[in-house]
Every structure is written in C-alpha cells, then in structure tokens.
Amino acid sequence: MGRQWNTIIESLGPLSGGTGLSINANLTELEALVTTLQADVADGVRIPNATTGGTGPTDFTSTSYGTIATASTGRLGCTIFNSGPGNLHVMLGTATASTTAFTVRLSAGDYYEVPFNYTGLIGGIFATAGTARVTEVS
C-alpha cells in the first residue's frame, strides 16, 4: 500500500522541504483523486464495461446433467442461487457434473459467484428436484 501512495503523491508534483510537507498540486486534482479512491474502496474492484447487465435471472431445474450457462467470451460474471430444497452440484468446464463429481455443491439457500472472468461452460445437476436462479453479467 505504501508504494501505491508514494506513486500517487509523486504523480501530483514535486515535494518541497522545510518544516512541513507541501505538495504542488491543484485542489481540483486532489479532490478528484480522493473521490476516485473513495469510490474504489466502496466498490471493491471496479468492473469495466459491465453496463449491459447480461441475462437473468433464469431458472435452472434438472435432475439429470444440464447446462446452467453456455460458454461465453462476453461473460464478466455469473451468480447461482439455489432456491430449491435439495443440493445443486455445479461443474465448471466440459466435464459432466454428478452428485459425486462437481466443482461446488450448493445446499438449499446457498449462493455462488463463479470466479471472475471465467467464460467456460457451467453445468449442473440437482440431487432431487429443485430450482436455481442464474444471472450472467456481461
């Protein structure tokens, strides 16, 4: 963190010595910088171009292996919420999910965020009848 602040301060202009520290920068630039830093902290990581919203939520209901979300190079993110009473077994990649082979198991009421920038196939299977709400962000 210290290096980042040094870089930011150095980019504002030369420092002058003396009893205090002064930065040769215009107040508007400093206010803009503080606003940007506050927004970054509040937002966590900013996702560029996430303005189209994507699809969803859609329902996934299958007691045999099915596609939760097709591969998409435009996907920025995907969320899955298991609103059903049983377990949902999710598989990232082209392997077929089963109740014994899966990436993540979602119990009733569980929420899962697919890893950021994962654009491959997402498949799944319910152990018993259920419904999952799926939202893709693009």
Please check whether residues 24 and 64 belong to one and the same domain.
no
Please check whether residues 15 and 66 belong to one and the same domain.
no
Residue pair 68/133 in contact by the 8 Å Cβ criterion = no
Please check whether residues 82 and 126 belong to one and the same domain.
yes
Please check whether residues 25 and 73 belong to one and the same domain.
no
Residue 49 counted as domain residue: no
CATH of the domain at 101: 2.60.120.770
How does pLDDT run across 45-57, given as a tens digit for each residue?
Answer: 444 334 444 555 5
Please check whether residues 36 and 64 belong to one and the same domain.
no
Per-residue confidence band for 116, with pLDDT thresholds at 50, 70 and 90 = confident
Please check whether residues 36 and 91 belong to one and the same domain.
no
How many structural domains does the chain have?
Answer: 2
pTM above 0.95, yes or no: no
Q: Rounded to an integer, what distance in angstroms lies between the CA atom of residue 125 and that of residue 77?
A: 20
How does pLDDT run across 87-109, given as a tens digit for each residue?
Answer: 999 999 999 888 899 999 999 99
Q: Which domain holds residue 14?
A: 2-43
Residue 17 counted as domain residue: yes
Please check whether residues 33 and 70 belong to one and the same domain.
no
Please check whether residues 63 and 39 belong to one and the same domain.
no
